[in-house]
Chains A and B, each alone.
Chain A
Amino acid sequence: MSLFRDLRLLREATAIPALKEVVREALIRAMFVHDERALPRDLVAVLRKKADILVRVKDEVEVRQAVRVANGEESTVGMGRPADEFHYYRQRLGVAKDTPWGVSTRPRLLQTYDWIVPPQGGIQLDLGGLDAVEVDGVSFAAKVGMGAPWKTLYDRAAKAEMLPAVFPSVPLDFAVGDGIVGDAHFRSYHDGFNSAVYDVSGVAGNGLKVHCGFEQVPSHATGYNLRDLAVQFGAEFLVPTALWVRLVARPPVVKDLVYAFDDTAKLAAALDKLTRTGRPYLWANLCDERAWGIVHGGVAPGPYVLEVGVGGNDVLVAARTKALEAAVAGFTAKGETAVPWDLTADAYRARGEKFGKILFVGEVVTAAKNAGAAIDRVRSLGESKGVRGGFLGNVMDTGQAYVTPYFDAAKEPLRVYDLSRGVADLVRGIGDAMFDSRLAHLWNEEAHVRRRTDLLLRLESALDTASAIEPPASLAPEPIELFPEGRA
């Protein structure tokens, strides 16, 4: 699935300058909620399309076969499609850029909502079968299939007395690969997802296996930074099949310390101070009462809860705990709870399913000192919309907070759109903040963002010249006559 396909179609639909200014947001809304009365027929036709065939691949060989089929290098008969389909000729006739037939992928789990523009036919790959996890127990690196659940990685690493370098920002049962093909966020107190991935391997649009990085070491000074490109939008120009991720040593003592606050201002001040301690905590997660109930069960110690992972030997844990308590002064209650990832796989999945029923719209990225304002505004937004709003979140040692609003509302498009718009609006009132969601990317028309988007789209086109991976949709596709009358 493809953010760039959404962006491209939107640009094509608003190519006339007057339309760009006037109808862009109305168009996004109509497309998102599938308001067919408000959309032209050709756009409705595009939005109604779907992949021709869904293939659950078992290994990389099958992925390569699918890409070769999309390139016309292999027959489609084995995939239940006649071999004389037009795509057989796409390379030779040079029609690839106009033909939407290609390969698309789906994440194991989506935190928020689906992409606007569906695949326009072609093969959709379910990567859930690529679920192998290899932890050798010696090196601090693991090979993880794109469909492998993060929890499996966590459990295998734990057996080797290690930890994944990053944790899911929201306790859904994500695959690690959802960080690339989906909208999952992974981070720890110190690391972001991009610094936790050594290598993204996959199949490029030309059918060749590629490694965007190196299996056991980080990629530095080797020319163009393919690893970061692949982590950021790899699924737009290749079919990722496996990741090599960094692990860290699991400290001999790991505690999940809990501090409750009754006031978001105090919470925000505590977060700001926490990130100035210079101590290497493992994670710093936030939640409200309701989310606490799902994650840990029982009654939350307060309306706003900060959970900090503290690891080390006994002496270091004592020092880090003491410093932590000094930094987060202002809490009303404190305690210790079970490490939130140390559940059985079934319990973890069941907990994730509970969160899966909740409506998420994206993530508010802001300075830790502003996290309180973000939380307050999310709550008031919920009240104004007649739904209960809450939050989960994380804080990093960079001083950045990531607040994930959630709402007790049905996941129907109109509601999702409305609440997303509300969050985007409230973020504007907070200094140093950004709303990170796919809709927000579509809405953002600031000049420098537009320029950057131009470059990214150009780059993506260049990396997959034949548009074999996540091909764009077109409003007025030219009919391709491979066998014109009388010449067949």
Chain B
Amino acid sequence: MANRLDYAYRRLVNVLGPGRVRRGPLETFVYSHDFAAMPKAASLTFRFEPDFVVLPRTTEEVIRIVRFQAESGLPLVPRGGGTGMYGGAVPNRGGVLVDFRRMNRVVKVDSVARTMIVEAGATWQEAYDRAWAAGLFLPVVPPFALGSTVGGWINSGGVGIGAMKYGSARDLLLNLEVVMEDGTAVQTGSDRVDLGGSPMNLGPLFVGSEGTLGLVTRATLRLHPRPEEIRPVAYSFRSLAAAVPAVRALAASPVRPYHVTLLDPSHLEFVKAVHRDAPEPTAVVLVVLEGPRDENIEGEKVVDALMAAAGGGKMAAETAKALWDERLYAYPMRRISGGLVVCEAIVPLGKLGEALARTRALRDRLKMEVGVHAAMVDANSVAVYPYFLDDEASPMPPARLAFVVAFREIALELGGHPMGVGLFLVFQVPAIHGNAYRFFRPIKEALDPQGRFNAGKMHEIRTKYNFPGLRRVPLSLAALPIRALGALKRLGPRDSHARKYVGPGGKR
């Protein structure tokens, strides 16, 4: 006898056909995590495996899926490339996972208007390549551009490569097509003109909303003319803290770099472990200039002088190019331990030295192996990305998450903020926003009153249990087990994945 889910399956197959509705155990397992592994213990609280995975190809199909949800009551969870790190695109109560990667067309590139219309499931790399081929430039892409989708990164709202000169994905957005909870598609702006800060521009609200307000199906992005040249230059320092004055001087200079990356020696140690030809571990500042060649030549002279004045030694052009070419492959060291957890935060540039020192102290306290790299967001702020090696098969991962929580608190104490919300870090949102956090629930309830989209990822933690008293976890309690396990981690042995790592062919 068919149960409720069997009927739901038939309905979905009627909408999409059998090839684009999946419910097998292997497929649902694959969709039960994102870039980071889900701690096994968390399965006591959440159901990560979706009941169904659906792969729509058109906005009309997405609309029909949303209407189906209204009948079935199954939660909808949108997913792009699965490159998120905090469970934003992972189900918490099963339901229907909407994988957008079949909606991956670049619909239009307009060379005259310098715009691109692209579907939500296209990767940033695909969009970048199409723009480049048309003589244009998509100036801002996420660090995971190879796999990160347009809709995914807009929903997560982070910063990426090119932020120093061009801002964030939000600054590229002209218009979004979003399927709302009533099963209608809304245009948040205009494909033709930039509504900017107009009160009638609804687009910015969806940036960083983690897919909790509607399903983004299409985006119109602003492009720029293709630069004559992209020129990376790199400088080595004895420590990253020693490079901070040079970076501050760079921010105050007449040169406007396209991108500035700061690599801690710890980061390059791990890279060296897996790539023997990688640069020797040292603190590195990689400055990328973009634009007309004559500007870049003069810009390089200015940067050379600033870095030299702060004790930076210029690295070979090939090294700089290699570092830049590796920008989309930032975490090869994942293979050292079989897992990696990345933390993200923005801190004021003036506090970078302190942020690094406190991160190192935290690493030592928790006896972990931590690498750090960073990227300038603007002249005043820097995004810091500490990450730690993590064996996903070991029983300790939840304990290591104490590092994530503690690092994010450091960012707040330094006047910055952690980045990323999602399933596992929603409990920190009140601390991040203070009283303004009280706006979160009204926003969700105004645009998605029935809680159809990705509920439990923004202002509350929803569990897999559907009983009063168990449906939600109070935000204030959520961090307690992680902290308690963190204390245990301090008692345990020091991590030694990198020391034990033996590369392919037995080489170290």
Contacts and interface: CB of A to CB of B under 8 A. Distances in A.
Interface in A1-44: 3-4
Given A204-B438, A398-B114, A452-B187, A365 B379 contact: no
A217 B208 contact: no
Contact of B302 (A226, A313, A463): A313
Interface string A185-210: 00000001111000000001010111
B357 interface: no
Interface stretch (B21-29, B30-38, B144-152, B165-173): B165-173
Most chain-A CB neighbours within 10 Å: which of B167, B208, B224?
B208
Nearest to B197: A194
Interface string B177-215: 000100010111010111111111110111111100000
Interface in A452-472: 452-453, 455-456, 458-459, 461-463, 465
B443 A459 contact: yes
Given A462-B446, A463-B442, A228 B421 contact: no
A423 B491 CA distance: 72
Contact of B208 (A224, A312, A365): A224
Interface string A384-425: 000000000000011110000000000000000000000000
B227 interface: yes
B447 interface: yes
Interface string A429-464: 001111010000100000011011101101101110
A320 B296 CA distance: 12
Most chain-B CB neighbours within 10 Å: which of A139, A277, A436, A465?
A139
Given A228-B204, A228-B207, A140 B251 contact: yes
Nearest to B458: A223
A278 B207 contact: no
A248 B379 contact: yes
Interface stretch (B2-10, B312-320, B411-419, B492-500): B411-419
Given A195-B167, A226-B439, A228-B170, A139 B158 contact: no
A432 B442 contact: no
A239 B394 CA distance: 51
B432 interface: yes
B286 to A, nearest CB: 20
B438 A206 contact: yes
A285 to B, nearest CB: 17
A212 B433 CA distance: 8
Contact of A452 (B186, B433, B438, B444): B186
B429 interface: yes
A298 interface: no
A218 B382 CA distance: 10
Nearest to B188: A452
Contacts of B442: 462-463, 465
Contact of B197 (A193, A279, A367): A193
A454 B290 CA distance: 42
A250 to B, nearest CB: 9
A436 B198 CA distance: 8
Interface in A219-260: 219-226, 228-229, 231-233, 236, 246-249, 251-253
SS class of chain A's interface: helix, strand, loop or mixed? mixed
Interface in A273-291: 276-280
Given A316-B295, A448-B187, A459-B447, A216 B436 contact: no
A347 interface: no
Contact of A432 (B187, B193, B206, B378): B193
B445 interface: yes
Nearest to B180: A455
A202 B372 CA distance: 36
Interface in B245-283: 251-256
Given A204-B435, A434-B193, A458-B447, A224 B440 contact: yes
A209 B199 contact: no
Most chain-B CB neighbours within 10 Å: which of A231, A251, A432, A465?
A432
Contacts of A246: 378-380
B417 to A, nearest CB: 5
Contacts of A193: 196-197
Nearest to A367: B113
B476 to A, nearest CB: 17
B187 A221 contact: no
B97 interface: no
Contact of B209 (A161, A195, A204, A225): A225
Contact of B253 (A4, A249, A320, A465): A249
A105 interface: no
A177 interface: no
B193 A366 contact: yes
A313 to B, nearest CB: 5
B200 A224 contact: no
B446 A400 contact: no
Contacts of B420: 221
Interface string B220-263: 00101101100000000000000000000001111110000000
B347 to A, nearest CB: 7
A215 interface: yes
A222 B433 contact: yes
Contact of A228 (B187, B205, B255): B205
A206 B438 CA distance: 10
Nearest to A451: B186
A133 interface: no
A299 interface: no
Nearest to A209: B435
Interface string A289-332: 00000000000000000000001110110011001000000000
Most chain-B CB neighbours within 10 Å: which of A139, A220, A315, A434?
A220
Contacts of A463: 439, 442-443, 446
A348 interface: no
A210 B436 contact: yes
Contacts of A323: 292
Nearest to A441: B200
Given A221-B158, A225-B207, A225-B209, A455 B377 contact: no
A222 to B, nearest CB: 5
A238 to B, nearest CB: 9
Contact of B415 (A217, A229, A319): A217
A208 B439 contact: no
A222 B415 contact: no
A214 B415 contact: yes
Interface string B347-380: 1111000000000000000000000000001111
A225 B432 CA distance: 12
Contact of B292 (A236, A278, A433): A278
A141 interface: yes
B416 A223 contact: no
Contact of A279 (B204, B206, B295, B415): B295
Nearest to A236: B199
Given A194-B204, A222-B429, A224-B443, A216 B381 contact: yes
A138 B113 contact: no
A179 B199 CA distance: 11
Interface of B: 112-114, 156-159, 167-168, 170-171, 180, 184, 186-188, 190, 192-202, 204-210, 222, 224-225, 227-228, 251-256, 290-292, 294-295, 298-299, 302, 344, 346-350, 377-381, 383, 415-421, 429, 432-436, 438-440, 442-447, 458-459
7 contacts: A192-B197, A220-B208, A229-B205, A278-B290, A280-B291, A398-B114, A436-B195
Interface of A: 3-4, 138-141, 161, 179, 192-195, 204, 206, 208-212, 214-226, 228-229, 231-233, 236, 246-249, 251-253, 276-280, 311-313, 315-316, 319-320, 323, 365-367, 369, 397-400, 431-434, 436, 441, 448-449, 451-453, 455-456, 458-459, 461-463, 465
Given A192-B196, A233-B199, 20 more contacts: A4-B199, A195-B171, A208-B438, A209-B435, A210-B434, A211-B435, A220-B159, A220-B383, A226-B433, A228-B170, A228-B205, A232-B201, A246-B380, A315-B298, A316-B255, A319-B294, A400-B194, A451-B186, A452-B200, A459-B205
